[in-house]
Amino acid sequence: MTEKKTEDPLSPKRRRGRPVDFSKILAGIQAENQRKIDQSKPYEELVVPLEVLVESVEFRSANVTVSDQFVGEGHREYLTGQVQGATYQVSGHDVVRELSFAGGWPEIVGEIVRASVFRGKTVDLSVKDPFRASIYETLHSGSVYHDRDFQEKEQALRIEVLDKEGKVSRTYNAAGR
C-alpha cells in the first residue's frame, strides 16, 4: 500500500495558472489614464459656436418642491421655486435639429442665432491603485473632457441673436452660466 502525501493547500505547486503580477496591472491602468489625458481638451476649447435659424419653440416650466419628511405619511411639501426652459427647433446645420436652453424664455423664432454648445463628453479616469483605494478614491478618481460629434439634440449654454449684418444684437445666458 502506498502512502498518500498531503500538500499544503496554499503551496505554489497547487496554484493553478501563473502568479498575478500586480505591477503589470497597475502599469496598464496608468497607461490607460495617460492615454485618456493625452486625448483630452480643456472645457473652453470644447464650447463651440453653432449658427442656426430658429424655426419654432416649445416653452416649459416646472415647480420645484422640497419635503420635510423622508419616510411615512403626513409630510409637508414646500414650493421652493420654478425651473424654466425652452426647446427650439432649428435648421441650417447638418446634424443639429433641436436646441435646449435652460433659464428664461427668449423669443427668438425666425431669428438667426449663434448658440454656444459644449461639444464634449466627460471621460472618467480609473483609480490609480484599485488594490489599495478607499471607496472615496474609487468614486472620485477624476475625469477629463474629450471631443465628440454634434448630436441631433444639443444644449445651448449661451444664445446670441444676430442682426441682418451678422452682428450680435442680444445675448442670453443659460441659467447657472
pLDDT confidence of residue 11: 54
CA 82 to chain centre: 24
pLDDT mean values, one per 10 residues, the chain (177 residues): 58 62 86 94 96 93 72 68 87 96 86 96 89 80 94 96 94 85
Look up residue 52 and give its amino acid.
Answer: V
Cα four-point dihedral sign 125, 40, 113, 51? negative
- Say how far apart CA 93 and CA 71 lie, in whole Å: 49
pTM of the full structure: 0.72
pLDDT confidence of residue 50: 95
- Say how far apart CA 169 and CA 173 lie, in whole Å: 14
* Helix, strand, or coil (residue 3): coil
Phi, psi of 89 (to 5 degrees): -85, 125
Instruction: Look at strands 143-147 and 120-124 and give their pairing.
Output: antiparallel
Exposed (0-12), middle (13-18) or buried (19+): which is 90, by Cβ within 10 Å?
buried
User: Which of 164, 148, 168, 152 lies closest to 47 in space, CA to CA?
Assistant: 148
